[in-house]
Structure 1
């Protein structure tokens, strides 16, 4: 089962469920910012943000004065955006440690 369901056309399948033998990664802790927007502290520096653009949500990485896409795609709701962000976060961490 994919951890990502929905989002931008063609994006499905990019984020797959973590395998049982993978190390456990702490979940991102989301802080509500209001108006369907959230942020979670990135482990080294910056934040991972979910921001509303029109009717869709985008997942960004930001530091003061700069932000960039963390995941390409638009997400229909907060839960889908958070799940995709968590899965991408885990993928990046595991890429470094395995």
Structure 2
């Protein structure tokens, strides 16, 4: 956390406070941040899509496939929940 703080403190000094220089850097930072956040959500949803759901947690209609990036898993994850009465 100290490195980004130091870089953000030095950038205005190096640019001379010129907003024409700082605004594109801000835009790049926002773009990278949102892209990384979205990539993390894709990983999260792909993992959730592979996890078998207990019968009581399943939606009443069949959900659409997540995406080609989330191929279905053929085996349940260790420690996953199962419906009562199933083995």
Scaled by the length of structure 2, what TM-score is found? 0.29
Larger fraction in strand: 1
Greater fraction of residues in helix:
2
